[in-house]
Every structure is written in structure tokens, then in C-alpha cells.
């Protein structure tokens, strides 16, 4: 059974994950109308992934005797000065999400809710990957600079981008 404190905190995270999905969706739309089909596809996929993260929380709360709440969402930014600015905002947002997950882990330990603590470990690992991906993308964008050919190749290749972070590496 979830404590009211944990239930409230998890419901707040539902909203954050839903807003993350909307942020990525807005970025996908912006990229698509700018002719960045690869970036748009990447963002659409990320939007779907964030929605899945939200649903995972919804089901966990309901299965543990709580009641998941779906709330209004803050409208995302829909215009960007450049694709670099867009990815910088994405990185800052992922850092914010990581901080929120870390606070949830802290609350679960304070409440001695080890089932929730265990459940949240997946999110901790996922955020390590998300931040590593955003950092890698920003590094590539900085390498490209203002080179249009580099942007073309980046847009073409972004959907194949995978990052092996320390959390996903397995010992051989």
C-alpha cells in the first residue's frame, strides 16, 4: 500500500513525464516543418517513450492501492531559434527530470517504501541514459557548428544514434 506522501510524489512525476512527452512532441513538430525529418522522427520516438514512462507510473500507483491522477499540463515551448537551442533545452529538461526522480528515490527511502524504491531504480538508469544521449547530441551539434553539410548528415543519422552509458554497459 502506498503512503499518501509517496502517492502524491508519484502523481507529480506522472505530470512531469506527460509534459516531457509534450515537449518532445512540440520539438518534433518544429523540426518537421523546418525540414529536419531525422530530428523530427527522433523526437516523435522520444515523445512516445516519455508517454510510456508516464503509463508505467500510472499502472504502478494503481496496482499498489493508490489512485493515479491525470492533470492539466503546462504548454511546451513551440518555437526555437535553432536546432542547437532546442537540444540545449532538451538537455536541461532531462537534468530536471533526473533531479525529480532522485527526489522520488529520497522520499521512498524516507517512507521506508522499498517496493517503490526498487521500482524507481529503472527510472534512475533511464535518466542516466537520457542525459548521456542529450550530451552526445550536443557534442555532435557543437562539432557541426554552422556547417550545412554536417547538419544534413546529423539529421540523416540521428535516428540511428545510440549511446552506451555506464548504466547500460554489462560486464563481459
Give the residue ranges of the annotated binding site.
17, 50, 53, 94, 127
CB 167 within 8 A of CB 133: no
C-alpha span between 42 and 44 (Å, rounded): 6
C-alpha span between 164 and 30 (Å, rounded): 28
C-alpha span between 53 and 65 (Å, rounded): 19
What are the C-alpha distances in Å from 148 to residues 143, 144, 155? 12, 8, 10
CB 94 within 8 A of CB 27: no
- Torsion 100-116-6-61 (CA) sign: positive
List the one residue out of 161, 158, 93 whose CA is nearest residue 127.
93
Give the residue ranges of the annotated binding site for Fe cation.
17, 50, 53, 94, 127
Give me 47's grid cell. 515523445
- Proportion of the chain in helix, strand, coil states, percent, rounded to 5: 75, 0, 25
Amino acid at each position: 500500500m502506498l503512503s499518501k506522501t509517496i502517492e502524491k510524489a508519484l502523481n507529480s512525476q506522472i505530470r512531469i513525464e506527460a509534459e516531457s512527452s509534450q515537449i518532445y512532441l512540440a520539438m518534433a513538430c518544429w523540426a518537421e516543418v523546418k525540414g529536419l525529418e531525422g530530428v523530427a522522427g527522433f523526437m516523435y520516438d522520444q515523445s512516445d517513450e516519455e508517454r510510456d514512462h508516464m503509463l508505467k507510473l500510472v499502472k504502478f500507483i494503481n496496482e499498489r492501492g493508490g489512485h493515479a491522477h491525470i492533470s492539466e499540463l503546462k504548454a511546451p515551448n513551440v518555437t526555437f531559434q535553432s536546432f542547437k537551442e532546442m537540444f540545449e533545452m532538451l538537455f536541461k529538461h532531462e537534468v530536471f527530470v533526473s533531479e525529480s526522480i532522485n527526489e522520488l528515490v529520497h522520499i521512498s527511502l524516507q517512507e521506508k517504501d522499498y517496493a517503490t524504491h526498487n521500482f524507481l531504480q529503472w527510472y534512475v538508469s533511464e535518466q542516466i541514459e537520457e542525459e548521456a544521449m542529450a550530451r552526445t547530441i550536443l557534442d555532435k551539434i557543437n562539432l557541426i557548428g554552422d556547417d550545412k553539410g554536417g547538419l544534413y548528415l546529423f539529421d540523416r543519422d540521428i535516428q540511428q544514434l545510440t549511446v552506451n552509458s555506464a548504466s547500460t554497459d554489462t560486464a563481459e
